[in-house]
Amino acid sequence: MLRKLNDLRGFTIAATDGEIGSVDDFYFDDQSWEIRYVVVDTGPWILGRRVLISAVVMEAPQWESEILPVRLTKDQVENSPDIDLDAPISRQHEISLHRHYGWSGYWYAAPTMTTPIGGMYTTPVPPTAVLPAEEEMTAHTEEQGDPNLRSMREVLGYNIQATDDPIGHVDDLFAGEEDWRIRYLLIDTRNWLPGRKVLVAVDWIDHIDWTAEDLFVSITREQVEGSPEYNPQEPLTRHYERDLYGYYNFPGYWF
C-alpha cells in the first residue's frame, strides 16, 4: 500500500528489544527513487543524536500505534558509527555503516554465475567486499558526499514545472510500504488551483535542477487541471492509479 512519508514522521522506531527514537526524515536515491535510509532521532534514549537505518531492516508500519519496527537491537544502534547528517553523506560513511550492521552495499550489483560480463562468467562478490573501483570512488566522494542521496525534507517545497507553466510545489511523497520505493509526488497547486492537490508520478519527471530547487515533469498544465480528482482523505487505491496513468496515457509501473 502507498503511504505519505510525512505521515510517518514522529513514528516510534521499535528495535527488537525496545524503543530507540522516532522517525525524523528519509533519504532516497534520486535515480531509482528507492528509500535507502530512515533518519532516526534517538531522543530521549540518546539525546542529541540522529542515526541512519537502512530500509532493508524496516518492517511494515503499525499505523494505529504509530510504530515503525526495525530488525535491529538497541545495542547495534547505540554502537553504530557517528555520521554528521548536517553534511553530505559520503560513500565512506555508508560503507562504515553497512560494515557495522553487516548490510550488503546497494551501490553495486554483485554478479552471479549466470551473469555474463565481457562474454565471460564471474564468481559472485561477497556482499561486504569493497571493490577496488569502489575504494577509488570512496576517496572521491569523501568530501562531496553521494550525489544521488536526497533528503525527503529537502525536496518538500520544490517547485514543479510542467512543460509549459509551473503547477505548484511538492507537499509530500508517496512510497510503498512493501518495497519502500517512492511512486508519487503530492503537489499543492494553491497558487494556481486553490484548494486542490494533485499526484504526479516520479516516472513522469523529466529532470531536476537541485540548485534552483525546480522539478520538471513531462506533462502540461492543462493536463494537470483535468486530471482525475485526488481526495487526500481517502486511501490511494490501484483503481485510482489506473485512472491516473490512463488519463495521462502512460503505462503503469505495476505491469
Q: What is the pLDDT of residue 127?
A: 41
Distance, CA of 63 to CA of 67 (rounded, Å):
7
In the DSSP assignment, the letter for residue 129 is -
pLDDT averaged over every residue in the chain: 87
Has residue 162 got a pLDDT over 50?
yes
Assess contact for 84 and 92: CB atoms under 8 A: no
Q: Cα 10 from chain centroid?
A: 17
Distance CA 35, CA 152 (A): 9
Q: What is the mean pLDDT of residues 52-71?
A: 97
Mean pLDDT within 4-33 = 97
Q: What was the pLDDT predicted at 49?
A: 95
CB 74 within 8 A of CB 20: yes
Distance CA 26, CA 48 (A): 18
- pTM of this structure: 0.85
Highest mean pLDDT among 34-38, 85-89, 90-94, 191-195: 34-38
pLDDT of residue 86: 87
pLDDT-derived band of residue 64, with 50, 70 and 90 as boundaries? very high
Q: Residue 107: what pLDDT?
A: 84
Residues sharing a CB contact under 8 Å with residue 162, sequence separation 6 or more, in sequence order: 217, 219, 220, 221, 223, 224
